[in-house]
Chain A
Amino acid sequence: MSHSVVNSSSEELLYAFLLAESQRGSGGERVADIKFLYCQFFQINLAPTAEDMEDLTPLFDALHDCTVYYFHDGDIVIKWAGQNEAIRAQIIKLIVKKYEHDIKRFFNPKEFFVDYDLMDGNEKLRVICAKKLNKPTKHGKELSKFFTDSNLIATLRKTIQLTKMQRNFRSKPQILIVEDQIFSQRLLTSILKEYTCYVAKSSGDALMLYMEKNPDIVFLDIDLPDVSGHSFAKLISKIDDSAYVVMVSSNHYAADVKTAQQNMAKNFIGKPYEKEAILRAVENYKKEKKSRS
């Protein structure tokens, strides 16, 4: 048994570990053979101070091929190789025995342990860790600043003014779909199959596609992994006077509809999608374009 105190969070360590494993070639200890057991000692006020370490370490001394990581926020991750269920049972027994009173006070002991192996594949665990680490949001914060930078907005605006003429020569509108769920992306592209569609799963990707493709219409979800659809709509309204944005979201609360209107969105379509409503939005665009010309 080995153990170490880690300054990062449990998710950071797991994420880094899983990422490294996924990038490793064949050979070596494969992540599929490794099990993780995760305990939340912070919930019972047991941040792993030196004293706590002294208390906890002997619990694991008898276990072989096992590494225990103690984290600053009180989480403990126990990692071991192979399919040895006996180790898991032994760990649980030891911890519950030692901290029986506190655990029972706050938890059903069965719920105290999260067995990451039960999550059916380490890719899922990696995704969960990435989300917990706020990776998209961290990126989103930087992107939010970028979206409100006045110099950048001026530059994008000039670029759009120079390039948007190409929309006039299209026989059919081209459509940008901004939606992070593949299920909903596929539905929209299916309904809009007679049109050229571009798909972005985040606001950052959507901005790049918007500048590159000059879409005529944008179907835009609100809840996106980096910056919200509302912020993207606001940016687009500032850089492109001819923008035609249709919000699509299951959050059709009054506040969302109002924000969409403030950001010059032309329509707001709730989920579940209805084919007729989606196609009507495209027809409305065509009518508006015709009346402008």
Chain B
Amino acid sequence: MNDSVDLTNLREMIGNDRELEQELFEEYISSSSLLIDELRAYSEKDSDSEFWKKSAHALKGITQNLGANDLSELCKKAQEGFMLAREDKSKLVTAIEAENKKVLEYLETLS
């Protein structure tokens, strides 16, 4: 466990299956990167608010299951703030990117 990720619940769910754990980490790295790219793209047009909301929701789901609690809170803010101004969305994505970087760095130490 570190400040960004608490794997206690995840490990309880999958037992001692290290192979599956690595598979899940890889899936997380790929999905989170894609969803954050989507958030960045959707933050640029007000008309994409619904897509923004969906991507934030999807990211919230996987971060919750991973145990990335701070990141999950940011995603919740993003999901609920889907009508925010572009500038605020942009700041939120930057914060999400920064927090996700910490998560990825931690996962890296476990591989």
Mark A residues whose CB is within 8 Å of B. Answer: 40, 111, 114, 119-120, 124, 127-128, 131-132, 180-184, 186-187, 190-191, 221, 223, 249-251, 271-275
Contact = CB atoms under 8 A, between A and B. Distances in A.
B14 A250 contact: no
B5 to A, nearest CB: 12
B26 to A, nearest CB: 10
Closest 3 CB pairs of A and B: A271-B64, A272-B64, A250-B61
B100 to A, nearest CB: 14
B90 interface: yes
A187 B28 contact: no
A166 B27 CA distance: 36
B33 A187 contact: no
B63 to A, nearest CB: 9
A187 B64 CA distance: 12
A274 B8 CA distance: 11
Given A182-B27, A271-B64, A273-B13, 16 more contacts: A127-B38, A128-B37, A128-B38, A128-B41, A131-B51, A182-B31, A183-B62, A183-B65, A187-B10, A187-B24, A190-B14, A190-B17, A191-B13, A271-B65, A272-B64, A274-B12
B58 interface: yes
Contacts of A250: 57, 60-61, 64
Interface residues of B, number: 33
Residue with the highest number of chain B CB atoms closer than 10 Å, among A111, A132, A183, A187? A183
Interface string B6-29: 000110111001001001100110
B65 A272 contact: yes
Given A124-B37, A190-B13, A183 B28 contact: yes
Contacts of B48: 132
Nearest to B23: A186
A119 B23 CA distance: 23
Interface string B61-80: 11011110000000000000
Contacts of A124: 34, 37
Contacts of A131: 38, 51, 54
B45 interface: yes
A186 B27 contact: yes
B44 interface: yes
Nearest to A191: B13
Given A190-B17, A223-B54, A184 B12 contact: no
Contacts of B57: 223, 250-251
B66 to A, nearest CB: 7
Given A120-B33, A181-B31, A272 B67 contact: yes
